[in-house]
Amino acid sequence: MRYQVIRLIVITFLASSLPIGFLPPGPGQCCYAAAPKAQNVHERAKKQQTSQKKKKIAQKSPGKTSAQKKKTSSYKKTTKRRAAGTAKDLHLTSRSVLVFDEASDRVVLSKNEDRKKSIASITKLMTAMVVLDAGLPLDEKITITKDDIDTIKHSSSRLAVGTTLARSELLRLALMSSENRAASALARTYPGGTRAFVAAMNAKAKSLGMYDTHFMDSTGLRSSNVSTANDLVRMVQAANAYPLIRIYSTSDVCEVPICGRMLPYKNTNVLVREGKWDIDISKTGYIREAGRCLVMRAKIEDRPMIIVLLDAQGKNSRIQDARAIESWIKSAKPGLVSGKNAAGTGPDTRG
């Protein structure tokens, strides 16, 4: 009995000192026959521990996660925005800005260029293109009627009801002096009338790729005449292909025979009147909802630039913005200007 107890103690002691998973051999078996199985168990345990360690390391320091990729993309966008966002550094008051270098076919300055804004009398550039596209006789006499009186903003005009002028003169006054009654008469005498004229304006806009632009009238007095700075670059480029628009929109002054006397008119763009800029296309615009607007195609440092300024605050703000842009371009070093591969009484709303 004592021998059996001692034998049991010895077997228990030996079993506790053997590798995990070892089973005592049966009769006639070597006591080391199960050792390879125990070794496999140890290897699997080590592999599991190694795998768990790798997972923990991967969780702490992953490779290229989607969050990192998003962060990198955001950084690129921020860098790009800063490159084209120097408008903020210039402290421009215009709420939408776009300066396009036609020579390099790239934007050099931008601010809210995709935001839809009311464009006021900038509309009249499209009015002029539709008139000229129609091939109507420019020497045909057109009489101002009561239908041409502004009942929206009640703006003033020196073209009294009954005034008769050639279509070309009305076109000049609409472009140069932003005459609303002239623009209204041009649309009214279009084949099919004003409604057909406005439809032609919108069709023309679509043909030019101006998909964020919509017109409701030929004068720009309606605040629902909207566009973006991007779209207006396209419109200015298209208008530049019309020699008469280039001439009329950049005339500084002219005299028109009205009621037996010559009445002087001047360009609404002071930069045209000053004569210091080399301007090919010019158009101003103003109604309360649109703010002060200005579009130009001008050469700066012998480079053709299209400048679009929308919703500037303050009477002279759009001119100050244009001058600031000119100075910035002239002082920019190579590589600094960069960006990615537009007779009555009442308030004066003639741009």
Segment 264-298, tens digit of pLDDT: 999 999 999 999 999 999 999 999 999 999 999 99
Active-site hit among 124, 153, 204, 283: 124
Q: What is the mean pLDDT of residues 156-185?
A: 97
- Tokens encoding 283: 């158009």
Please, which pLDDT band fits residue 260 given cuts at 50, 70 and 90? confident
Task: Please state, for a pLDDT cut of 70, what percent of the chain lies above it.
Answer: 69
Look up 178 and say whether it is catalytic: yes
Q: Is the pLDDT of residue 183 over 60?
A: yes
Domain parsing of the chain, residue ranges? 77-331
Active-site hit among 178, 184, 251, 317: 178
Most confident range (mean pLDDT) of 21-30, 82-91, 174-183 is: 174-183
Q: Is the pLDDT of residue 133 over 80?
A: yes
Question: 77-331 has which CATH code?
Answer: 3.40.710.10
Which pLDDT belongs to residue 35?
41
Segment 23-68, tens digit of pLDDT: 444 444 444 334 444 445 455 555 566 556 555 544 544 444 444 4
Active-site hit among 121, 155, 251, 282: 121
How many other CB atoms are found less than 10 A from the CB of residue 143? 12
Residue carrying the six token digits 């006021």: 120
Q: Is the pLDDT of residue 323 over 50?
A: yes
Q: Is the pLDDT of residue 335 over 70?
A: no
Q: Is the pLDDT of residue 340 over 60?
A: no
